């Protein structure tokens, strides 16, 4: 890492560690409590606020809120994990949920992401977004997957870096352990400022930037930092639940995502980062509402097709809209019916063209696919 590239002291300094094996590490400045926003940034903020408001309203008013929540969680988990190099598909994730057995480590990383989110949401009732919650969620995130040997649930006790085999040639070297903890303390204070001067989405963008800059764990920093985006919005009551899958946008523009963060550290280009982040919020909030509307349309279409029947197939429709890959046992457990009863309901939907049965071979359980639902979620 070249110290001469870092020319924005208001965001931090590139400092040599000294000694025989010296390298340059970035020492972040405290997050700004006030900031002058450029007109373009204000315009982007207004658009993002409006879109997130529509998303929050949809989440509160939809007759079936799970049509927004569960698909959003899975799309977020999948895209955030893909940014880090996993190769899982949405069908892989749904199949793992149906069978209860992730087929490979990539899928397990995605399911761990969802488990970490669930843990964070449950703990928010008693524990605020904090260093303690960071460690707890990190432990869940790295359980049984790549990185599990890198002290899950513990802040790093050694230097890490990005983009090389040693810090001297790295693209970016986060703060040393000595400077990491004061930066984390400031991050925590900033997150819980009860009289903030800056709008919520601006603070959220700054908190994400700072967390990724501090890089407090040996592994999993990207995924955990993205988890905190929506968790913070829920904690601040901007969203009723984690409805905003931001990572699909960040995955689509991964190169810009990384370069915008680095440009703040090196040259102080904070307005460009804020506009990128706000564009992600606007696009993904609108996308989440659009997908929910398409799922509602499918729900009504299937209900019309089943009109006049006296079975509980309509209840299976609601299950498959959030879990479009199912096995018979799963339906039996959810509806509290026998395997025979669940099979009858699933065959009824198959006969109506709503579900497609598939088996991996003789003696294996039938898996039922709602292809139209998968198409809405995966495109």
For residue 51, what pLDDT band results from cuts at 50, 70 and 90?
very high
**148 confidence band (pLDDT: 50, 70, 90):** low
CATH number for the domain that contains residue 341 = 1.10.10.10
* 90/18 same-domain check: yes
| 220 & 337 share domain | no
Cβ–Cβ under 8 Å, residues 202 and 274? yes
Both 66 and 134 in one domain: the answer is: yes
Contact 317, 302 (CB under 8 A): yes
284 and 315 fall within a common domain: no
Task: Judge if 262 and 224 occupy the same domain.
Answer: yes
Please check whether residue 163 lies inside any domain of the structure: yes
Read off the pTM.
0.94
Do 204 and 351 lie in a common domain? no
In a domain, residue 296? The reply is no
> What is the number of domains present in the chain?
2
User: CA 309 to CA 321: how far, in whole Å?
Assistant: 19
How confident is residue 150, by pLDDT bands cut at 50, 70 and 90? confident
* Structure tokens, 133: 């919650």
Indicate whether 190 and 233 sit together in one domain.
Answer: yes
Structural domain contains residue 301:
no
Say how many C-beta atoms besides its own lie within 10 A of residue 228's C-beta.
Answer: 22
52 & 9 share domain: yes
**Structural domain of 362:** 310-378
Question: DSSP readout, 221-255?
Answer: HHHHHHHHHHHHHHHTTSSSSS----HHHHHHTHH
98 part of a folded domain: yes
- What CATH number has the domain bearing residue 70? 1.10.3290.10
CA 347 from centre of chain? 35
- Residue 226, domain member (yes or no): yes
Size of the chain in residues: 379
User: Are 187 and 99 members of one domain?
Assistant: yes
Q: At CA 96, angle to CA 76 and CA 300, rounded to 5?
A: 65
Taking the C-alpha atoms of residue 312 and residue 345, their distance in angstroms, rounded to an integer, is 7
Q: What is the pLDDT of residues 290-318, one digit of tens each?
A: 998 999 899 999 999 888 888 899 999 98
Same domain, 143 and 277: yes
353-375, pLDDT tens digit by residue? 999 999 877 777 899 999 999 99
What separation in angstroms does the CA of 356 have from each of 19, 59, 195, 309? Answer: 65, 29, 54, 20
**Statement to judge: residues 29 and 131 lie in one domain:** yes
Same domain, 328 and 374: yes
């Amino acid at each position: 890492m070249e110290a001469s590239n870092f020319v924005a002291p208001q965001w931090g300094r590139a400092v040599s560690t000294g000694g025989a094996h010296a390298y340059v590490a970035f020492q972040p400045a405290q997050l700004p409590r006030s900031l002058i926003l450029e007109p373009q940034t204000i315009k982007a903020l207004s658009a993002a606020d409006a879109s997130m408001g529509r998303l929050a309203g949809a989440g509160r008013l939809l007759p079936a809120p799970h049509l927004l929540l569960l698909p959003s969680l899975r799309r977020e988990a999948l895209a955030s994990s893909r940014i880090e190099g996993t190769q899982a598909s949405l069908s892989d994730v749904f199949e793992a949920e149906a069978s209860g057995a992730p087929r490979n480590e990539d899928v397990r990383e995605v399911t761990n992401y969802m488990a970490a989110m669930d843990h964070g949401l449950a703990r928010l009732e008693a524990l605020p977004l904090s260093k303690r919650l960071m460690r707890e969620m990190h432990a869940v995130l790295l359980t049984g997957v790549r990185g599990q040997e890198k002290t899950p649930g513990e802040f790093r006790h050694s230097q890490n870096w990005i983009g090389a085999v040693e810090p001297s040639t790295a693209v970016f070297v986060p703060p040393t352990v000595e400077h990491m903890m004061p930066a984390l303390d400031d991050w925590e204070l900033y997150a819980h400022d009860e009289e903030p001067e800056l709008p919520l989405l601006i603070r959220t963008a700054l908190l994400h930037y700072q967390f990724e800059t501090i890089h407090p764990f040996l592994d999993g920093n990207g995924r955990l930092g993205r988890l905190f985006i929506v968790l913070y919005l829920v904690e601040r009551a901007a969203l009723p639940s984690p409805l905003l899958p931001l990572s699909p946008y960040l995955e689509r523009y991964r190169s810009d995502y990384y370069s915008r963060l680095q440009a703040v550290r090196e040259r102080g280009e904070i307005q460009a980062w804020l506009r990128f982040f706000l564009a992600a919020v606007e696009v993904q909030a609108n996308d989440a509402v659009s997908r929910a509307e398409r799922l509602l349309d499918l729900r009504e279409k299937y209900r019309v097709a089943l009109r006049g029947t006296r079975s509980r197939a309509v209840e299976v429709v609601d299950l498959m809209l959030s879990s479009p890959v199912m096995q018979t046992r799963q339906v039996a457990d959810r509806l509290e019916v026998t395997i025979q009863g669940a099979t009858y309901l699933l065959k009824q939907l198959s006969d109506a063209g709503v579900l497609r049965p598939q088996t991996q071979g003789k003696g294996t359980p039938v898996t039922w696919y709602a292809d139209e639902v998968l198409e809405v979620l995966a495109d």
